Amino acid sequence: MKPIPIVLDCDPGHDDALAMILAAHNPGINLLAITTVSGNGNISKVTQNALRVCALAKIKVPVAQGAGSALLGHTEAATDIHGESALDGATLPDPIFALEEMSGVDLIAKTVREHVEKVTLVATGPLTNIALFLKFYPELKSRINEIVFMGGSIDRGNRTPYAEFNIWMDPEAADVVIKSGLPLTMCGLNVSHQALVTKDIFAQLEKMQAPLADTVIGLLRFFASTYNEVFEMPDPPLHDPITVALLIDRSVVRTRRANVEIELNGKYTRGATVVDIYNRNGSPTNVDVAIQLDFDRFWSLILNAVEAAAKA
Ligand code: BDR
Ligand code: CA
């Protein structure tokens, strides 16, 4: 099968870093570019992190810095989960190449315009860049194959009782994406909380006995400690790489077609994804919602990618 051309829009972030490694080190994906968005840390921190992960995992694609705040100006950082640097837990190498001079949104547009095939957009942070791209470059919409994003939940949230972090950060951007009419797959907390980094996964990473695997272990141990502190989850959920994994192998997740709306106004529920699983409202379906993860398939893709990156 021909590799799937993607642009990865991310806010690294521990799980974003693993999404980058999977996208770059699986032959089923043709990673064309990486763009960053303010989320887990401020935009300069997450952009530096993206460049450092590229250096660590020998990823050589154009990287551009995207939006520094949400469409309505909101910023915050997930230091409680990802630490001060947004990627605490290991020392990463210095960047080995420079950022593109154009903005993240312009790099998405350039990549989509110039690539011969339609491009898939994978978003593992707030949806600000994707919404701006759709607004500023409507003529390129037909060049998008689909959008796969990590965000939302069919259950409860993690940033507020009902809002997941990526959607909470920029609900208006999520609303633009949800209403785009493009093929959409949503990987929310309900599925990412099945992608746990268990003791056995740590053991398999240790068995690799490779410096890159040790760095990944350091990052994931930090992630495990904050998840345990904040959410009482000793095995942390590796949210973001599910988006890439499902493109490589659709059987990694089972999805269900549903109507999804973004709550923009709720006094307590702003940023919630309202997923009408049983179509009680009778509204047209607009999203393939990931429901069930195949744990073994998912982890075998991740572990193989880490091993490949370690040997690169
Ligand atoms: C999402 O928020 C971030 O903390 C993670 O990187 C992931 O994209 C999970 O809610
Ligand atoms: Ca993320």
Tens-digit pLDDT profile for residues 214-253:
999 999 999 999 999 999 999 999 999 999 999 999 999 9
Whole-number pLDDT of residue 1: 81
pLDDT band at 102 (very low <50, low <70, confident <90, very high): very high
CA–centroid distance, residue 49 to ligand 1 (Å): 15
Question: Taking the C-alpha atoms of 263, 290, 151 and 10 in order, what is their torsion angle to the nearest 10 degrees?
Answer: -150
Residue to mutate (ligand 1; options 190, 191, 239, 244; most atoms within 8 A of CB): 239
pLDDT digits (tens, 9 = 90+) for 72-100: 999 999 999 999 999 999 999 999 999 99
What's the one-letter identity of residue 272?
A: A
Give the pairing of strands 4-10 and 287-293. unpaired
Q: What is the mean pLDDT of the chain?
A: 98
pLDDT digits (tens, 9 = 90+) for 145-174: 999 999 999 999 999 999 999 999 999 999
Ligand 1, atom 10, lies closest to the CA of 165
CA–centroid distance, residue 114 to ligand 1 (Å): 30
Q: How far apart are CA 12 and CA 37, in angstroms?
A: 9
The whole domain housing 85 covers 4-311
pLDDT digits (tens, 9 = 90+) for 4-19: 999 999 999 999 999 9
pLDDT of residue 143 exceeding 90: yes
Question: Taking the C-alpha atoms of 71, 111, 189 and 194 in order, what is their torsion angle to the nearest 10 degrees?
Answer: -170
Give the pairing of strands 253-262 and 287-293. antiparallel
Ligand 1, atom 2, lies closest to the CA of 165
Ligand 1 environment, Cβ below 6 A: 13, 15-16, 40, 78, 81, 124-125, 150, 158, 164-166, 239-240
- What is the total count of domains within the chain? 1
What's this model's pTM, rounded to 2 decimal places? 0.98
Q: Are 37 and 129 in contact (CB under 8 A)?
A: yes
State the CATH number of the domain containing residue 150.
3.90.245.10
pLDDT band at 302 (very low <50, low <70, confident <90, very high): very high
Q: Which residues pair with 5 in a beta bridge?
A: 30
Q: How far apart are CA 121 and CA 148, in angstroms?
A: 6
